[in-house]
Structure 1
């Protein structure tokens, strides 16, 4: 893709201004015969992603080194922590990889994968290690989740973890509106019908559907992308290009127009810098009826123990449902229900002097035992079904995501231009919420899209 190549050249030039990650890579094993490996993650004890850093240093490394010692291999694994902004971590990592060094195993945000693959910083697993296909873990990772680590049809690493988007609804408000408290809509029309019923309750915003640029990526991931999938389309298709002003996009923007044009959503909330956080607080207070969010909302927002907007009665008051297609069977591939997911990918550096051993380290990191230890006492969804069945057993919502959402989910395209496309989608929703006709907003989006992706728009 021309625009991708151009942006990679720009990235390479910009990296000359960034500082390298100190001490990365396998530059030499000395005279002891001990093999040296390094792991790099944007995690640091006492800081960002501290639990992951502690797991790597205190559990993973000692056990891997001991297992290798039993197998007759002397290995010394070093963890290179980082606790910076994701883009800063990305730039430092890319600079080190550009020089032909870098850590033996490292983590990427899933949407960076294509950019790093095109730059040669990561290679398909089939080119990195001969026996990657025989790893037992693949049987435990749903094909939909494997897409997080896939670019142009090839697997580049192992998904480190994922999530899923659903419709959360306030059961108490549903009961007051005369709606079923075990709600599962099968179409967009059933969502708006429920919203209209909720509109009869004073002081309640029926639906929170993220819109506009103030909501940032939350607008795209918890709004446009799952709805677009429900209209039977993807934002990007390999070989075809980016989705422009299609019927599907117009349908998505039309739903936004219906919700915000008919007073079923709060347009002011979408313009506030802290609007998303405010929407969380309003849901917890019983002031929002339906909210499209990821399982993060359940785990970290309304969690009665440590949530940012805790609900003591969460388990009784908060319902959750699959996101329906526009109509039954109208979703991507004829699906009745859809979702979107994000997550990180862990990969082997193709420049590693010990790629096969690095692959062993990577698979050890993603073994059932290791991931169970990583989860610890804080249940969250991993990429492995068998681990999820063990660690999520007492949490019905996360079990719901594991069993019903992950098999049908989709992921953002792993292309470097995606963040710019995402902003354009956010702007299109903002225009509709402000009163612009959906068809016009879609046409304006396509005009801007063609410039951003250098004309690579699906016909």
Structure 2
């Protein structure tokens, strides 16, 4: 058989992914997917991976994959999808259930139940995690010492956070006491890295009730909005120009490095972005300068830890002609080294719990990676429904308005939230708890 004929006889499995958005650098994305292809091609010489990189940002990835999936001839056998978009793709009939294959996958049993559920619809699993984002509290130890606060800080309630921010404001002039992402500038991602964490630690974190209605007034929402109002009424937050910047979610990284920020509710990728491998120039002093702890619940109620969950998942096309090899490729991508590399290079936390304990992950960005792994099992997912974006935007608007207008009440913020959701979804789709 000629070389060309041999090549043509191989099974070709297509793999689509975001080449410019998901990983910390484009080079890391290329390196990771090249490694996946090399590992699969070596393990299964009768088959090969064809990479389908998708340039651009979050929306570009979703739009391109939507176009590809509409035709059997262009639908990728395997694709990397963001968790919030899974419902849209599954409800369109584009994804293949994976339950039979997962029944024998050793790594699947190590996923926390919340992460196993992020790709589950109507009792079947259509996608599996390839990396998660969660959130923690970061704080400047030197500023805490100057303010008379413990350098080994362990807040138990939200009031503990506000008390520390007030002490910073009083005794460390010229710095931002507390960062919390509010407003609409970062969209759902901003909620994921900001006030969504507080809601998950509130007295009632319900977003969508058992009947499927969207919660627009609850004790939990009012606790979150009261925290935001208190924070900005007392001038404990950052400037509105930073808050409403398109790159708001990454503002704390720079503020911390410049010595201009004391406390932040921030994502797990902070530590990795300060390491020698990722950043240029490196901030070698970060582990000695910036501490990290879990975000507490509102009053210290169990479990005492709060965080959001959001990540990227792997899915197989319902129309694939190579189901077995598509699964084999997905399985290769879930191997330990692949998942640890993805975590370190894209700012993820591996879903498999044994991977999070590997020195290759823990020692990549100490002490940050260890804490992000510790809080991961406590994370809560947002509903994988298209309507979630409406509810999310309503809460973003409410928090942003409270930050901008000191005379705005929590009642008015709730009323505005109700009005927006009612206008977009209908009042019959709203719930009060």
Query: What TM-score does the superposition give when structure 2 sets the normalisation length?
Result: 0.87
Q: 1:354 to 1:238 in 2, by over 3 A?
A: farther
**Which runs of structure 2 are paired with 1:304-323 in the superposition (5 Å)?**
306-307=278-279, 311-323=283-295
Root-mean-square deviation (CA), in Å? 2.8
Which residue in 1 is equivalent to 2:155? 185
Which residue in 1 is equivalent to 2:257? 284
Partner of 1:243: helix, strand, or coil?
A: strand
Confirm or deny: 8 A CA contact 2:278 2:345 kept in the other structure.
no
Partner of 2:332: helix, strand, or coil?
A: helix
Which residue in 1 is equivalent to 2:174? 203
Query: What TM-score does the superposition give when structure 1 sets the normalisation length?
Result: 0.83
**Which runs of structure 2 are paired with 1:340-379 in the superposition (5 Å)?**
340-372=308-340, 374=342
Using the TM superposition, name which of 381-390 and 352-361 deviates more. Answer: 381-390
Measure the CA separation in 2 of the matches of 1:112 and 1:184.
Answer: 35
Q: 1:152 to 1:247 in 2, by over 3 A?
A: farther
The structural deviation recorded for 1:384 is 2.2
Cα deviation 1:220-266 (Å, max 9, x = unaligned): 12222111111131323454322212221111100111111112223
Which residue in 1 is equivalent to 2:118? 148
User: For 1:106, which of 79, 82, 85 is the aligned residue?
Assistant: 79
Measure the CA separation in 2 of the matches of 1:355 and 1:233.
Answer: 39
Which residue in 1 is equivalent to 2:221? 249
Measure the CA separation in 2 of the matches of 1:91 and 1:305.
Answer: 31
Measure the CA separation in 2 of the matches of 1:31 and 1:198.
Answer: 65
Which residue in 2 is equivalent to 1:60? 36
- Work out whether 1:336 is the aligned partner of 2:304: yes
User: For 1:234, which of 182, 187, 206 is the aligned residue?
Assistant: 206
The structural deviation recorded for 1:366 is 0.6
Confirm or deny: 8 A CA contact 1:65 1:77 kept in the other structure.
yes
User: For 1:75, which of 32, 38, 47 is the aligned residue?
Assistant: 47
Which residue in 2 is equivalent to 1:392? 361
Q: 1:37 to 1:219 in 2, by over 3 A?
A: closer
Unaligned segments of structure 2, at least 5 residues: none
Which residue in 1 is equivalent to 2:68? 96
The structural deviation recorded for 1:374 is 4.9
Confirm or deny: 8 A CA contact 2:294 2:371 kept in the other structure.
no
Partner of 1:363: helix, strand, or coil?
A: helix
Unaligned segments of structure 1, at least 5 residues: 1-28
Using the TM superposition, name which of 240-249 and 144-153 deviates more. Answer: 144-153
Measure the CA separation in 2 of the matches of 1:365 and 1:226.
Answer: 29
Measure the CA separation in 2 of the matches of 1:229 and 1:258.
Answer: 19
The structural deviation recorded for 1:430 is 1.6
Cα deviation 1:336-363 (Å, max 9, x = unaligned): 2110122111111111112122112111
Cα deviation 1:174-206 (Å, max 9, x = unaligned): 111111111111111111111121121221222
Measure the CA separation in 2 of the matches of 1:47 and 1:256.
Answer: 30
Measure the CA separation in 2 of the matches of 1:444 and 1:410.
Answer: 25
Measure the CA separation in 2 of the matches of 1:407 and 1:343.
Answer: 14
How many residues matched?
417
